[in-house]
């Protein structure tokens, strides 16, 4: 790429020429969030993908998010800036192993977190995100036995909220798993008036210490409206960009990753860049391609989730 190129202007031009829409997750770099047509959490992004009239979806997020957009839009081109932008939850739940594992529970229905591959979605009865997981689980009769995959922490949090028992696939997010109760206790001691807000992908020892647990969009909405001034934030640091815009007066204290970094960054989300977004719009590559039979199997569970609203 010519270093003299005005990337933002070129991206705007290509977006017009391609009739493209740029969707970005809250964990993307601020410069990507700022030029996206829509920024949201996983549920909002899948809703935006379902309703777009664009011919091309440039999905600035991780693979399972772009793949979900493709499941919903077989006739559109879905491109992602970096095809290697995976997710530890999706990558550690291979569809074949999951299909074999679930055979042990023949009388269970399967609720899968959207952070999984199309193959795992195809093995599921319904999909959920962190913002609707409780509602999705409660949409089943109380006596219906359920498997919840692939995030054990989100699954345990849903168990606590609903009082229901769930069979859990033992997956976890490598970013949120780094937050520890000790770190939170240290930060609370340093900021006694702060509200602790965390994502439900955190371990139960951390989420039990929180004043509020929610999806990225819910955490942002909480900060925007809460009367307090200091917030200890337990999720990927990309979300701080919109939080700062919503509450320039607030002090935002990210929980440090236990690796010693002063905040937690998702190595997959951060593979995307403005340069790669420009190339993806220019070349319409890398493109998400899905086998049609698999897409159709994965579509039903995603549509069941979207129908819940
Ligand atoms: P949200 O749906 O809350 O944005 O979460 C997505 C994710 O990958 C969290 O790690
Ligand atoms: Fe996956 Fe965790 Fe990254 Fe979210 S933060 S995309 S769950 S690895």
DSSP designation for 245 = H
Looking at the CA of 267, name the nearest ligand.
2
Q: Where are the domains of the chain?
A: 7-85+269-290, 89-168, 176-254
For 42, the token pair is: 């996983």
pLDDT at residue 257 in the model: 80
Check residue 262 and give its pLDDT: 75
* DSSP assignments along 61-98, one per residue: S-HHHHHHHHHH-TTSEEE-S-TT---HHHHTS-HHHH
**Residue 52, pLDDT score:** 96
Fold of 176-254: Rossmann fold (3.40.50)
In the reported structure, the alpha carbon of residue 89 is separated from the centroid of ligand 1 by a whole-number distance in angstroms of: 11
3-state secondary structure of 119: helix
Q: Which fold has domain 7-85+269-290?
A: Rossmann fold (3.40.50)
Peptide bond into 35 cis (omega under 30): no
Ligand 2, atom 6: nearest CA belongs to which residue?
Answer: 87
Confirm whether residue 130 is marked as ligand binding: yes
Contacts of 131 (CB under 8 A, 6+ apart): 41, 42, 43, 214, 215, 217, 218
The reply to whether 176-254 shares the fold of 89-168 is yes
Pocket test for ligand 2, best of 29, 59, 66, 87 (most atoms within 8 A of CB): 87
- HSE value, Cβ hemisphere, 13 Å, CA-based, for 101: 18
Question: What residues of the chain score a pLDDT lower than 70?
Answer: 259-260
Tell whether residue 173 is among the known ligand binding residues. yes
Is 93 marked as binding a ligand? no
Residue to probe by mutation, ligand 2, list 131, 236, 239, 272, most atoms within 8 Å of CB:
236
- Give whole-number Cα distances, 149 to 146, 163, 267, in Å: 10, 17, 22
Q: Which residue has the tokens 């345990």?
A: 156
Is ipTM > 0.90 here? yes
Annotated binding residue 108? no
Domain 89-168 classified CATH 3.40.50.10800? yes
């Amino acid at each position: 790429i010519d270093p003299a190129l005005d990337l933002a202007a070129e991206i705007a031009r290509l977006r017009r020429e391609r009739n493209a829409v740029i969707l970005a997750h809250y964990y993307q770099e601020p410069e990507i969030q700022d030029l996206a047509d829509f920024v949201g959490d996983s549920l909002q992004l899948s809703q935006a993908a379902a309703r777009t009239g664009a011919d091309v979806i440039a999905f600035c997020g991780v693979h399972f998010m772009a793949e979900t957009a493709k499941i919903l839009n077989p006739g559109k081109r879905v491109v992602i800036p970096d095809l290697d932008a995976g997710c530890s939850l999706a990558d550690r739940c291979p569809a074949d192993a999951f299909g074999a594992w679930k055979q042990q529970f023949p009388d269970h229905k399967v609720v899968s977190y959207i952070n999984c591959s199309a193959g795992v979605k195809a093995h599921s009865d319904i999909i959920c995100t962190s913002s609707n997981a409780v509602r999705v689980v409660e949409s089943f009769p109380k006596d219906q036995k359920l498997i919840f995959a692939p995030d054990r922490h989100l699954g345990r949090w849903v168990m606590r909220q609903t009082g229901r028992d769930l069979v859990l696939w033992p997956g976890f997010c490598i970013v949120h798993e780094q937050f520890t109760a000790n770190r939170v206790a240290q930060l609370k001691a340093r900021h006694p008036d702060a509200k602790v807000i965390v994502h439900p992908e955190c371990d139960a020892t951390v989420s039990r210490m929180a004043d509020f647990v929610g999806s990225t969009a819910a955490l942002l909405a909480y900060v925007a409206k809460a009367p307090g001034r200091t917030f200890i934030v337990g999720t990927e640091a990309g979300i701080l960009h919109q939080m700062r815009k919503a509450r320039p007066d607030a002090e935002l204290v990210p929980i440090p990753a236990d690796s010693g970094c002063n905040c937690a960054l998702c190595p997959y989300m951060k593979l995307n860049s403005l340069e790669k977004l420009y190339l993806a719009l220019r070349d319409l590559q890398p493109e998400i391609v899905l086998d049609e039979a698999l897409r159709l199997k994965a579509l039903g569970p995603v549509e069941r989730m979207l129908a819940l609203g």
